[in-house]
Structures are given as C-alpha cells and as structure tokens.
Chain A
C-alpha cells in the first residue's frame, strides 16, 4: 500500500478519536462493501452525466451508514458534483409547516460543498463562478453580463420559483457590480433560505417569494440546474438520520414527509430531475415499520419492496434500498488492521502492534462489553486509537501491559434516541413515553 498523507492520517485519526466519522480519508479505513460501493459509484456517475439517483441506505445503529454516506459524498465531490448534506432532526424535516423544512434547507445550503470547499460554504464560490463565466461570455459577445445571466437562467424561469431564483442571482451580480455588499449578502441569504418573510425579500431583492417549507424540493431542483450551468456536474443530496421522520408521532406530519420522499422517488425514477441525486440514511425500522416506517405509506412500500428475484443469497445492488450489514468480528479485525496501518502512515514496518495484539484487543473488548464491541464499533475504535497513541508515544510500552487498563464504554447512543415531535404534539409524546400506544387506543372501539 502506498504511503498515507499526514493530513489524511490526522483527519481520520482525530475524527475517530472524537467518535465521529472522518470527512476525508474514509477510503483508508473502508472495510469490504465492494459491491455497495461499486453500485454507488455507478449512481454517482449517472448523476454526473445528468441522470438521477435515489438510494435508501439502510443499516442498524453502528453499521456505518454515516461513514458510508460521507464516503459517497467524498466520491461525489471528486466527480465534480456539488453536495449538500444534513442530518434530519425534529427541527429539520422534508416537509413541515412550521419552518422545519426551511430549516433543513438552510442546513443543506450551509453544508453545500465542492471539491475545493469540501467542508461547506461553497455557495458563494458557485455563484461567482457562474457569474464570472457569464461575464467572460458577455465580454466576448459585447453585451452586458446581466443579459447573459438572464439568458442562461432563462430556462430556470420555467420551473417553479425559477424566475425569482434567476432574479436573485442577477441581484448578486448587481450587488457586485455596484459594490453593494448588502445586496450580495441578501441574495446569498435568500438562496440559503434565510428569509423568513416575503415582505423582507421584496424590500431587499424585489422578489415576491421566499424559500419556504413547501418549496425546498423545487429549490433543490433549481440548484441542480444552476450548478450545472455554473460548470459542475450536478448535486448530490445526502440526508442522514431519516429515522427522525419515523419518530414523528403525528401520522399526518409523518405521511406528509413520506409523500415528499415519494415525490422525490417518482421524479428520480421518471428522470424528472437532471443531475440530482438523493441518498438517505436510515435504520431498518424507518424503512420497514408497518405503522410508522416508509412501509406504512403504501405507495412507497410497493415501490421499495425488495426485488422478488433477489433471494437465496443474491442481492440486487441496483435496488433503491441498499442494505448495510452490521460489522462482523472479522470485519472489525480488518478495520483494526487498517487503523494500525493508518497510524503507521501506511508503512508496515512502523506497525505498533502485531496481529495477535489486534485479536487480544478484541478479546478484551468482548469480555468487557460483549458483542456490541464490533456491532457498534464507535467506542471500541476510539479506545483502539487511544491505545495506539500511547504505544506511539511510549516506545518502551508493551501493548500486553496496556491492554488490561483500557476501559471501554458501551455505545449506548441508540438508547438515547427518543420519540420526538413538534411541541404542539407534546400530548402524544407523553403517551409514548408512558408506553401507552395512542394508535392502539384510537383503533379500539366498542
């Protein structure tokens, strides 16, 4: 294996040590999942070619959904795609009436990334790149840049909210041209969905609409067209923690969100959106729960039901649902090997522990916390990196002596996940927490 760049190494190790998924260098510690990654690569190339993508990445807590999503996001950036990503939470949903959807959109736009700006905040760069190009063309053609901008954006206008979108981009140019930082800022704020009232928007930018709860998907579609005009291949939207939709106790609210997913799925399958891909990360119950999961929404269930021919060990990796298995002990061992390698900058002679040390470490973990040491490997991975870190800094330390002193905490993260809902629905939340199933009572009639 080739040597590992210190920057990537440090990024990986620091992230893992902090218990979060690294943003770069994921490929250094990716274990297995060849088929899944190959399938996703095809998807990404399709989006880059102006196609669509719809993937539900389903895995249990700790199975590496977020890691996988980040990896795919990283790959997307390398493929000149723009990515937006966000974790859903009670205040960030696909559909809402109380601003939660707009809040999700704002989060997405905050995290908008390109290859040169992989950590988000790439919106200005994208807009300016578009305008720069337009200006060059204007110079060449001897017309005003604004004219070119409007020409370019003309066919965005045909789309929902397209006209205002074009207006806002033009406003940004105006702001730049006339040196009005305020105007530029307002344009960016509008695009980020940070305007909350239409009046403000009209006063500041002269547009009649704002990006609100109802329009975020249309806005994403516009964005995908726009980035293509700006010279990028398309947009990949990564939405994680979809289980938060499943946790919505209000059936109507939940179904409205699922309907949004259905719309996205339909558009994707029908090719109604160009260069726009969606990846959702969720847990099995989010998908399969017949009362609250995606399967409870019949139209989705029939579209997402597994391929009837993919059985007896055959998998259909082209199916919208991509299932991730939890790590096995063997996979965990390979992961430890990879971590050891990253730690040693890819140089086997600098490995801090022999293979038997890895297995001894697993044994130690198993004794402490049982089989979740490899099923939910977050805490164990952190402990391992800490161990390597001590070994690295104390050349005379013996891993055998250190092993007994490692304390590993069980990753109880999944137990902290509770049912959530908007404050207006607190009543049902109370019922949930007392263990009484409201739905059950509702359906019980004399």
Chain B
C-alpha cells in the first residue's frame, strides 16, 4: 500500500511536474526505501491487531537499559495512536482509556525529532519513585528526553486515571501534547482522527475540569478547544442558543465572538443574554460589575433582559465592522511549534473590538445593580434564605419565580370570575408563596408594594396605609387594584370615604349581619364617588367587604371624625342614614348607634330624624365631593337631565311638574267626588242612615220632605218663611212641636246635604239662625 502510494507520487510528480521535481522524487524514493526497511523490523514487536484490541505485550514494551531511541522517521500517526477505551500495558503500567501514542520513531510534525508525546516503551523507566505530585521535568518536556524517573512517574499518572488534581501539571501537559497532535495534525491526514474530534474534545474538557486552575494549561487547553470548536460554531447560528458563560471581564469567549459576529452578519438584534455576556466578558468595561452580578447570576440576567428590552425597545442591532474575526492557536507541544500557522480566519466581523456598544450597556448594568443590590446583600447576609419569600421581597417583583407568578395569576383569575374581590385567610393566601420567615410590618409593606405595582393585586387591610400587621389567621380581601396604581399615597378624601364606610358598616352590623343589599348599596356608592381615583375606588370596595366581616366598634372613630369639615360630616351622616334604610327597618339599637355617631359628627339630632324621615320616603343624594380635591359641594337635589328648566336660581324638573299636575288633578277629582258632587257621590256616601234601621222605620212611615219625619218636614216648611230666625224663637217653635231644636236642625241639615250638598239652616252666631236661600229658591220652584 505504502509502496504503491510512493510509486504513484513519484510517477505523478514525474509526469505532471516534469524534470524539475525529479530530485524531490528521488528524495521520496529514499524515504520510501527507509520506511520499508523499518516497517519490516517493527513487525517483529508490534502486531497492530493485537495491540489495538486490548493490551500490548509487556514483554515487548519493557524498557531496555541500553536502548536509545531510533531516528524519528515515521509519520503514520494512526499506527501509534491508541484510541479511546483501549488499555495499553507499558512496562507493567496498565494505561486505561488510551489516547496516547505508543511506539518508537514517530516524528514530530515540526522538525525531525521524535514527537514529545510519544511513549516509547523501550526507553528505560524508573519505577522506584513514582510520585507524580512532584515535579520531575522542565518546561516543554518530551517523553523521550525526560529522566527514567519522570517517565515512570508519567506512566504511573497515566495508569492512575489521569485525574489526580494534585498531579504536577507537567505530566498533564505531556499527555495533552498527544491530544493536541491528534487534533491539529492527524486530522489532516487520517479519517480515523477526524472521527475522534469529539472524544478528544471531551477529554480535554475533562482535563480542564480538573486542571483548569493551572493558568498555562487552562490557556493552552481552551485555546485548542476553541480552535477546534470554531468549526462547529460557524456551521450553525449559535446566537439562537443561550449565550456562553461570561468571563467577568477576563476576555471574550470564542463562542461569544462568533455569536456576535453572526448577529452582526445577519443584522438581527442582540439577544439580551448575549448582550450581557458581551458586557460581562469585556475587559476594562466602563463600569465593572459588582458582587451582585455573580452572586445572583440568573436574577441579574433577568433584570438586564428587562432593562435591555426597555432601553432598546426590544433589542439593539449590530452593524458589521471591518475587523474580521480570526482565531489562532499557539500549540503547547514543541513538536507542533512552527510546523504550520494554526490560524483560522472566519468570514465574520469581530464586533468585540467595538467599545461603543459596551458604553451603551453600562447604564443598564448600573440599573441592574441598583435593582439587585438589596437582594444580593440580603442573600449575602442570609444565605439560608435563598428562595424564601423574604428574599423574593428584595427582588424586583417581575423576577419572582414562575411558580409564584402562576399562583398569582390563578388568584387573579378567581377574582375576575367572581367579578368581586375574594375573601380568604391571610395564611391561605400566603401559602401560595414560598416560606416567609420574617414577617414584619415593613416587609409586609414591601410585599404589598410588589403585589400591587407589578401584579395589580391588592390586599385589604393594607398596613401601608395605617393599621397594624394582620395576623396570619385573619381574614383578608384580595382584589384587583386595577392599572395605574403606582401611587401608594392615598388621597385624604379616601380616608373620609373609608371612615364613612366604616361607620356605615358598623350601623349595618347592628342587626347581626351585613346584608348583601347593604354591601351592594355601599359598593355602588363607592363607584359613584368620582372624586376617588379608580384605584381608590377598587380599594374602597375591598375595604367595604373587609369591614363587613370584622367586628367593628367605635374606637378611634371620634378622633377620625374630628378632622373632618362640615360638608364631609354631612356626607357621612347621609350615607349612614341611607344604608340604615336599605333593609327597610331600622332596629332600635341601630337608631341608638346612629344617634351616637351623629352626636360625634356634631349634627343636631333633630336634623338626624328629619334625614331619616326623608330617607324613608325616597333615597337621599349622598353628595359626591367635588373632583378638584378642594372639599365637598353642598347637597343639591338630583335633577332629571332632559327636562330641566332653569330660571334664575331655580332649577325645575318640568317632567316632574307635569307628573305632579296630573297627580294633583287625580287627587282633586277624588276629593271633589267626596266634597262637591252630591248626585255623583251616591255610591260612596252613606245616603241612608242604615245603621239605625229602627229609627229609619219611624221616618219612612210618612212620605215626608227629603225623607224627613212629618214633624221635621213641617218644621222645614215653617222655617222657609223667614230668612233669619232668633234661636229663642226657634226653640219655642221646636218645643211646641215636641222637638229638640239642635237635634232637629242636625237632622234637617243632614237631609239637606243629601239633597243639595249644602246645609239648610246655619247658625250665623249663637243667637241667629240663617236659612239657606238657595235651597228655599229651589223648593219654591
């Protein structure tokens, strides 16, 4: 095979390049001859098949005292390489895992010496002192050149699994040289080597994990890895993946540079994590990151993402610059030095040379620090509280864990389903959150701030606005605060409104329970108070619900009332009266309480009852305070909109006037029927004295005037004779007829009313009796 190859080369050279290369062909021929000679000799101790499978005959690999290495003439690396998983026995050292060159005569890619990584089993070793923690070699060692003790120690290290972190780095390097040769040199020549790239990379990464702390090894190993990996990087768009770990200002990882180059090439926006990795890897940035960035990496990353998106409206695009991204590797193995320039030039811009972007990121990083500092310091002081609600409170609420966010959105869903704030125990609400070890009023305030500002969720009672820290077994009201709730200061009017509600609920509670109607009425009232901001209205409504499940009393009320002005007091009074009317009847105890409250309000009790009276007839207007925040406007009657007629100071609801006029006509007609229409009112007037039917018989025996008895009829006939009579005169007439005057006149008048709707005889004063001439006229006719 080799022979044939050599012949072909020679033939090709001769045929294609002509006589100029005949000399070179001769050299090739000589080499071929030499190789042939050596290979025929090596076959004696090396049976490739048996070697590759498991072990190498120890006998064949035992060292010889008088041995001196052969000339390095061979370049067929594959023949020396033991791949992953193979175990080799070299001088009774069982080397597990392979990944070494074993044999003799492997020439270094650079120069003509033996490759320094090659383990020549025939070289003498000293097994007596094999402590690989002790340095026994100089820099840039070569297996063939180090002392037998060093060789023995190296083999010991190899056989011990290559993983003692305390081992001298020299041995690691010696091993690494082989890996480096395999990756840099062999892959150009051997397809087998190409297939091994990933296993070797993994081996190097393993070594780095153990020996990465050694500066020089770290540098070489990483450099090599990058050099190899870059081929993978350029094949895909790596910026779509997570950004590489930042170096914290120790330079840009290759992956980052490639990714950024691709970002610039593709003209896309930098993903936030890539931007952060860029900044955090930049040596000498405008502002160095502080502990927070490393102690709370994830949180820092999330805040940065927020800040970044906010600052750049979704993302910052990179423009390609002229500097191209190139990559070079300085081999660690001297066998590879200067053999070839290990440099790769990529068709990607190297944006990491630009500082303008970094300057743009600096303020964001500053913000991140500002927002994260307290959290970071908290964790620094209380490392045991990681993940607790205590720690979360120090964190911007947007960074709370997803589990917490889900719990919150579930609660919000429940609220929107019931379309009204929900009531629950504080403890069961807090159960939705991580453990809360230190619950103080101040921290409760932080919690409420976070809930309301970030999740629009409010809790009533709210200790931020006064009151004590609620006990965990107390009932609270969870409600949707609504948007635009950044202001944690409540308007002074809110205090008035909440006091009004407090007293109203107090009054409602007198009968034992606040009824649904009462709550609805109060909630509707809260909606009507336009001087409250929407967020305050929401809170007030929740406050009402909370109040309704409390055992309220009058403590503290007096002081709160004292600060009110007259209009506010009146408004509160009106509200209390209105709510007391909701259930229809006002229990005595409620009346007593209302009276007590009115006394505190300084409202005259007469006014109280007059208001109660009004409220019992029709709802009174709870006067909305003016919206300018200056105070309250005085009551005005509710006015219908369309038909209002305004003349001077008078506002009249003309539709009401019309209705009243119609009403009054109706009343007048009802009453007129009773008072005037003698004939028409027969149906409702008791026309006959049926309740004394016995008497009636007497009257009805004779067909007298107006159904009167004959005696009375006669009296009437007599009375017609004169317009006025003296009482004494009439008395005599009556007595003459055996009549009682008053009784007779009463009966006659009664009958006259029936007939004419007017009396017949009226006493002008005590002594003069006047006869109704209208009736006389009618009778004459």
Contacts and interface: CB of A to CB of B under 8 A. Distances in A.
- Pair from one complex: yes
Contacts of A27: 667-668, 671-672, 674-675
Nearest to A373: B650
Contacts of A301: 588
Interface of A: 1-2, 26-28, 30-34, 37-38, 41, 45, 48, 58-60, 71, 74-75, 78-80, 114-117, 122, 124-133, 135-137, 139-140, 176, 228-231, 233, 283-285, 287-291, 293, 295, 298, 301, 305-311, 313, 315, 323-326, 328-331, 333-334, 337-338, 356, 359-360, 362-363, 366-367
B456 to A, nearest CB: 34
A362 B588 contact: no
B695 interface: yes
A131 B595 CA distance: 56
Contacts of B487: none
21 contacts: A2-B676, A30-B668, A31-B667, A41-B674, A45-B684, A60-B614, A126-B746, A128-B744, A130-B743, A133-B698, A140-B698, A284-B610, A287-B613, A289-B595, A307-B584, A323-B616, A329-B650, A330-B656, A334-B660, A363-B649, A367-B649
Of the listed residues B582, B619, B651, B692, the one surrounded by the most CB atoms of chain A closer than 10 A to its CB is B692
A contact face: mostly helix, strand, loop, or mixed: helix
Contacts of A331: 660
B743 A131 contact: yes
B741 interface: yes
B182 to A, nearest CB: 93
Contacts of B674: 27, 41, 75, 78-79
B759 interface: yes
A73 B524 CA distance: 44
Contacts of A284: 609-610, 612-613
Contacts of A356: 647
B585 A231 contact: no
B440 interface: no
A321 to B, nearest CB: 8
A325 to B, nearest CB: 5
B374 to A, nearest CB: 54
B695 A137 contact: yes
A366 B651 CA distance: 11
Contact size range, B: 35 or more
Contacts of A230: 692
B686 A288 contact: no
B613 A116 contact: no
A31 B672 contact: no
B contact face: mostly helix, strand, loop, or mixed: helix
A38 B470 CA distance: 57
B606 A80 contact: no
Contacts of A307: 584-585
B584 to A, nearest CB: 4
A124 B734 CA distance: 15
Contact of A291 (B595, B645, B650, B697): B595
Given A37-B671, A58-B613, A288-B613, A309 B743 contact: no
B671 A30 contact: yes
A125 B684 CA distance: 24
Contacts of A233: 686, 691
Contacts of B609: 283-285, 287-289, 293
A334 B698 CA distance: 50
B618 interface: yes
Nearest to B593: A290
A115 B652 contact: no
B670 interface: yes
A274 to B, nearest CB: 11
Nearest to B618: A325
B746 A125 contact: yes
A32 B663 contact: yes
Contacts of A140: 697-698
Given A59-B613, A75-B671, A116 B759 contact: yes
Interface stretch (B210-218, B267-275, B321-329, B747-755): B747-755
A124 B606 contact: no
Interface in B559-593: 581-588, 591-592
B717 interface: no
B739 interface: yes
B664 A116 contact: no
Interface in B380-427: none
A136 B650 contact: no
Contacts of A114: 746, 750
A359 B667 contact: no
B617 A325 contact: yes
B588 A295 contact: yes
Contacts of A330: 652-653, 656-657, 660
A41 B747 CA distance: 25
Contacts of B741: 128
A59 B686 CA distance: 32
B740 A176 contact: yes
Given A114-B746, A230-B692, A293-B609, 20 more contacts: A32-B663, A41-B670, A48-B686, A74-B675, A75-B675, A78-B685, A127-B742, A127-B743, A129-B747, A132-B740, A233-B691, A288-B586, A288-B612, A291-B595, A301-B588, A306-B584, A328-B637, A334-B661, A363-B650, A366-B650
